[in-house]
Structure formats: C-alpha cells, structure tokens
Structure 1
Amino acid sequence: MALDGRHITRRSLIMNKPALALMIAATMSLAACGPADASAAQDMPMIAEVGFSDLLKNPATPFIGAQQADITIIGFMDYNCPYCKMMIPELNGLMEADPKVRVLYKEWPIFGPVSENLARIALAAGYQDKYHAVHNAFMSAPDRIQTNQKARQLATEAGVDMEQLDRDLAAHREDIDAVLLLNSREAAALALNGTPAFVINGNLIPGGIPQAQLEAVIARIRSGQPLR
C-alpha cells in the first residue's frame, strides 16, 4: 500500500454545524483499511513522516498507558470498524509489555451516523471519567453497532450515568464538535483512506499490524534506525 505522508500545518478551527456535517459526509465513503501491506511483514511496514507534534495539540484527546512515555501511538479509529476492534488486543498487549508506551485515540467516525453518535457518546462520557469504559464496551461489541439504542445500552452497561451523559452531550456539544472536526481535518491532511490508521512518533502506518510488528517499529524508533 503506497503512502502519501503530508506535513500537518496548524490551522484555526471555525466551528459551525455545516462545516462538521460536510466533513462527516465526506468521510462516509471511506472503508476499513484492514491490515497493513502484507508484503511488508517480512521487514517493516511502509512508513511515512508526518507532522507529529501537531497531532498532540488537542488536550482533549483521550489516551491510555504511560503518563511519561517515550513512544506515543495515535490511533484514528471507528467503533464500527472490524479491523479497529482486532487491533485493541494488540495495543493492549503492547502496553502491558512496554511501560513506556501510550496510545492516544482519535475518534474518526467514518461509517455513518451511528458511528458518529458512538464517538459523541464516548467523548461525552469522558466528562464523568468513563471514556475508556465506553471505548472498551464499544470496541468489545462482537458485531457492528447498528442503532443508537444499542449504543446507549452498551454505555449504560459500562457504568455511564445516562442522564448526566445527555446533559454533557448538550452542554459540551461545541467542544465535541471541535474534537471531531479537528480529527477529520487531521485525517484529511494525512491522506488517510480508512481505519484503523496509526501514527507512531511521527511515522504513519495506515492499517492494522500485529503486536510483534509494533514492537519492531518501536525498537527501530528508539535505536534511531531508519524505518524504511
């Protein structure tokens, strides 16, 4: 799979509903990336340099793993992407094995209105410190989440106070809009074609790869070796 790595420039966000709606609509035609190019498994995944520091600008981006990390993995993901779900055990295994890794999640709902609602619920749940509980519940769903009712059921089972969630969805709508719009703009700047996609310390991997390959990438980054 050929990559087109583009440097991300800082830009102001002019938040309005039409802008967000157009960005979401533009991404609905995208599909899951699937695994990274299988031919690269013999050596290293194809990797391109991007403007990594700009991806870390938003303090609202949820993360899990080390507070003081030397490796940061940024994942662009959709809860209804089957390959995203497959990557969760790989990422969790990596963080368990490596105490200096953290993962930042970029909500990028490209599979339609339900996916967008899932992303909104997850971000709103963060206001009651339930983002990761909801994230895990959505990613653990064995099948595609096809209705908003099912999304709310899963959030409830994850321990979310749904009355508080609804208040936060309303009170923080503009903030949540801003996160989703920024994530979509970053994905566009990276020329991403689908989910999952990962940026590891400034290196782009458009697709899923197993834990062993993630560890190989990290080892090269830490040693200062070129990744391609």
Structure 2
Amino acid sequence: MIVSRRRFLAGSAGLVATTGLAGLARAQGYGQAFKVDNDEGRPVANTRLPGEIVGEIEGLRGVTYIGPRDAGVTLYEFFDYNCPYCRKAAADLVSLAASDPALRIGLINNPILSVQSAQAAKVSLAVQKRLGSAAAWSLYQGLLARPGRIDGLSALAAAAKLGLPAAEIEGIGDSEEVRLALKSQMRIAADLGLSTTPSYVLGNTALLGHPGPKALARMIAAQRRCDRIAC
C-alpha cells in the first residue's frame, strides 16, 4: 500500500500508537462546561479549550474546508473513517452544509481506531493536496456512506472515481508532507483531549461525540448569537 506497503503500514501503525491515546487522561475529565443536550435529550460532554491551542487549528495542513473562508463560525470535526458514529455524523454534516451556507466546516483526520483508518486518511490527504477541498469532501462523503471496513485499498478505489490514478495517489500519500500533515492533525486532537470520534471544536469549546443535527444547529446558532455554544 502506497509505494512500499510495508513502510506505509509501519508508518500508519506508528501514528496510531503514538497519538491515539495521548489525550485520554484529559478527555476522562470532560464534564459539561455548558449545559447542552443531544437530539435524544442526553447531556453532551463538552469543555472549554485553551485559546492558544484552538488558534493552531487554522494553520494545520491538509484540512478539508467547506463553506466561506470569511464565515463567522467554523465547525471542526475530528473523525476516523472506521468510526460507526462518524457515518451518521457525515450524513448530518452534509445536510448541515446544504442548509447553512454561511457555515464553514473543517474536516480533520484523527484515525485513532486502526491502521486501516490511517491508510484511508493518507489517501484523503493525498486527494486534498492534489485536487483540493471539494474533491476531498466528495471522498469523505463517499467513503463514509459505504458499509464495511475502510482501508487504503478501498480509499484508493474511491479516489480513482475522482479521476486520479492509484499510483499517483500512492506516491503523494507516502510523501513526507502527507505524513507530517496527518501527524500534526492527530497531535492537535490529542493535545485537545479528543479521544472520541467524532469530536467537534466550535469556538473555544470541544464536544465529545456526535450530538445530532438539531443539537449541532442549536449550538451553532448560539455561537453566532453570544460566542458560546449555549447562551
């Protein structure tokens, strides 16, 4: 996989091992900085984040953005291609993007569940680098809409439908630039204590787990009104 499969697999495994559990201790301390519920009426774990770390997100390489650059509110999703809850989240984010064109959404890879997830993330980053956010957004939708485990080969097959030769994507995906981009995305997730996928950053608040589209829409509306996820 990705030019040298052995080297690619080893590199992907290393990323999962070194960053996947780094934020667990912080995440275990999550309570409710704001009293917000999910679509089923259950409390959503959330915490306020250090502004200096949140400020680093904008400078990350390889983030897939949808929506206006000058949007007043940006919702970041930290996700894993093999997270079952991320499948529901993906469908809801697609609907949210369509219904709220003033919102900016940023997709950040956090493949903490498996080596296969890291493989798919590398393919996604290669597509992002080669074709930009619109193509990477399309790949995200397609992969998370399909059943079964997602790995590098299935991600490559999906990328091929975008008109990219597998060999080209493999070469980009195995580059040092992509490796460092994925490592930096996972590192900031760990620094923020985002050990659950999906997790979100909205303003200076982190949300653990997918609260559902209605709850997300309420929090986004509150963020616009009072710069908090609940006014």
Alignment of 1:1-228 (within 5 A): 22-27=14-19, 40-41=37-38, 42=41, 45-50=44-49, 51=51, 52-129=54-131, 130-145=135-150, 147-170=151-174, 173-224=175-226, 226-227=228-229
The answer (yes or no) to whether the contact 1:78–1:195 under 8 Å persists in 2 is yes
* C-alpha displacement of 1:97: 1.5
Residues 75-131 of structure 1: CA deviation (Å, up to 9, x unaligned): 111111110111012111111111211111111111222111100011111233132
1:159 to partner: Cα distance = 3.2
- 1:192-226 Cα deviation digits (max 9, x unpaired): 22210000122111100111111110121111165
Structure-2-length-normalised TM-score:
0.76
Shift in CA distance, 150/20, structure 1 to aligned 2, threshold 3 Å: closer
The letter for the 1-side match of 2:47 is: A
Equivalent pair of 1:137/1:155 in contact (CA under 8 Å): no
Quote the Cα distance in structure 2 between the aligned partners of 1:186 and 1:124: 20
Could you list the runs of 5+ residues in structure 2 that have no partner in the other structure? 1-9
- Percent of aligned positions with the same letter in both sequences? 24
Counterpart of 1:100 in 2: which secondary structure? coil
Structure 1 vs Structure 2 CA RMSD: 3.1
Stretches of structure 1 that go unaligned for 5 or more consecutive residues are: 1-17
Residue pair 1:78, 1:109 contacting (<8 A) in 2 also: yes
Q: Tell me if the contact between 1:44 and 1:217 (Cα under 8 Å) persists in the aligned partners.
A: no
Aligned to 1:12: none
Check whether the contact 2:77–2:108 (CA below 8 A) recurs between aligned residues.
Answer: yes
Alpha-carbon spacing, 1:160–1:140, altered in 2? closer, same or farther (3 Å): farther
**Matched residue of 1:40: which SS?**
coil
Q: Give the distance between the partners of 1:225 and 1:120, measured in 2 at CA.
A: 34
**SS in structure 2 opposite 1:63?**
strand
Is the 8 Å Cα contact of residues 107 and 183 (structure 1) preserved in structure 2?
A: yes
Equivalent AA in structure 2 for residue 48 of structure 1: T
Task: Check whether the contact 2:12–2:119 (CA below 8 A) recurs between aligned residues.
Answer: no
User: How many residue pairs end up in the alignment?
Assistant: 205
- Counterpart-to-counterpart distance in 2, 1:109 and 1:201: 23
The answer (yes or no) to whether the contact 1:65–1:101 under 8 Å persists in 2 is: yes
The 1:226–1:115 alpha-carbon spacing in structure 2 relative to 1, beyond 3 Å, is closer
SS in 2 for 1:80: coil
Contact 1:65 1:103 in 2 (8 A): yes
State the AA in 2 paired with 1:192: L
Q: Deviations over 1:129-171 (max 9, x none)?
A: 13223222211212222x543332232234332232123234x
- Counterparts of 2:100 and 2:195, CA distance in 1: 29
Secondary structure, counterpart of 1:88 in structure 2: helix
- AA aligned opposite 1:109: P
Contact kept, 8 Å, 1:28 with 1:112, in 2: the verdict is no
